[in-house]
Amino acid sequence: MSIKRIGVLTSGGDAPGMNAAVRAVVRTALFHDVEVYGILRGYNGLINGDIIRLDEKSVSRTINRGGTILYTARSKEFMTEEGQRKAVSTCKFLGLDSVIAIGGDGTFRGARALSSHGINVVCIPATIDNDISCTNYSIGFDTAANTAIECIDKLRDTMQSHERCSVVEVMGRNAGYLAMYVGLAVGATAVLVPEKTIDFDKDVIEKIRQARFNGFTHYMIVVAEGAGSASEIAAKIKEAIDLDPRVTVLGHIQRGGSPTGRDRVNATKMGYLAVELLLANKTNRIVCTSKGSFTDVDIDDALQMHRSIQSMEVDVLAAMTGL
């Protein structure tokens, strides 16, 4: 089978580095004399035929830009059989041989639906949550982590000046990978993640007390959004030990900003590999990293995988916080 025309889309939450991946897809495809079309606003764009042709100029100076030049959206219509048939009809009408979908698990499930209707698909993992089970790394995580670290470092400066307790909520939905990574990087007093059952007295209050016994007067609590509300955690701290914490919810600032070098390079490699897979007649695949190498796995197999917080990270955090 000869691939002549590829569509590329970004779906779900945006992640820094998505543009670098789109750029790599375009440049690799054009290198092989394959046309590339950008599908705007994710699967909604595929349903509605909201598509533009991409060339070298279209992706020029985008490798350093956050967000996604293709825009992104979640599509309820695409979750229906009728919506999927509309998307497939668009592919056939425009002569798209293949679709490269950039995003997270929801994006992959959408691509699998296209594949079941005979469309060649390859996916690229991009989510700041880094919660995709089949890959060790997803585009956007490094930038989001560094953004959160920079914000918390600045917050620590002012909090230390006033000898206060800070409760900082980071993103991650139902996964604690971002919170755990950031917590280790900023030397947090405690880190709360949804993967670990919280013993509030042991995991928070005693760690604050231990820090005070060791001479510290400022305490940093990092909370993954899936582990609870930062405001609720702060209220429980105040009730337990009459300490008045300051709450900071970093929110969507973690999604923005120019991608780090790591995200740019990984996104470029993944975009390149996605096109190469299609040209090798491989479909229904997800580009991923495993043991330091770039490879690919079947979408069906990937969606059945389960990932959890590494035990070493838990052990290291326990040692760093002294409990």
CA distances from 314 to 156, 305, 320 (A): 23, 21, 10
- pLDDT, residue 322, reads 65
Strands of the sheet with 246-249, listed across from one edge: 190-192, 219-224, 165-170, 246-249
Taking alpha carbons only, the member of 147, 155, 149, 170 closest to residue 218 is: 155
Report whether pLDDT(53) > 80: yes
- pLDDT, residue 143, reads 98
pLDDT tens digits along 288-311: 999 889 999 999 999 998 877 777
What span, in angstroms and rounded, lies between the C-alpha atoms of 235 and 291? Answer: 42
pTM for this prediction: 0.94
CA distances from 82 to 77, 85, 109, 201, 231 (A): 8, 5, 16, 51, 42
Mean pLDDT of the chain: 93
Yes or no: say if 159 and 246 are a contact pair by the CB < 8 Å rule: yes
Percent of the chain having pLDDT more than 70?
99
Yes or no: say if 84 and 55 are a contact pair by the CB < 8 Å rule: no
Query: Helices marked H in the chain — which ranges?
Result: 18-31, 42-48, 81-94, 105-116, 141-161, 177-186, 200, 206-213, 230-241, 261-279, 299-302, 311-321
| Mean of pLDDT values over 168-195 | 93
In DSSP terms, which residues pair with 293 in a beta bridge? Answer: 290
For the chain, how long is the longest CA-to-CA vector?
70
| Mean of pLDDT values over 41-69 | 96
CA distances from 90 to 12, 74, 96 (A): 20, 18, 8
User: At 27, is the secondary structure helix, strand, or coil?
Assistant: helix
User: Would you call 1 exposed, middle or buried from its count of C-beta atoms within 10 A (0-12, 13-18, 19+)?
Assistant: exposed
- pLDDT, residue 1, reads 66
What span, in angstroms and rounded, lies between the C-alpha atoms of 137 and 289? Answer: 6
Whose tokens are 């993967």? That residue is 195
Report whether pLDDT(225) > 60: yes
Dihedral, 148, 150, 151, 153 alpha carbons, nearest 10: 120
Could you give the count of Cα atoms lying within 13 Å of 166 in the half-sphere of its Cβ?
27
What span, in angstroms and rounded, lies between the C-alpha atoms of 281 and 33? Answer: 16
What span, in angstroms and rounded, lies between the C-alpha atoms of 307 and 137? Answer: 12
Residues classed as catalytic: 129
pLDDT tens digits along 89-138: 999 999 999 999 999 999 999 999 999 999 999 999 999 999 999 999 99
Percent of the chain having pLDDT more than 90?
82
- For residue 283, count other CB atoms closer than 10 A to its CB: 20
Using DSSP bridges, classify how beta strands 285-290 and 293-298 pair: parallel, antiparallel or unpaired: antiparallel
Report whether pLDDT(25) > 80: yes
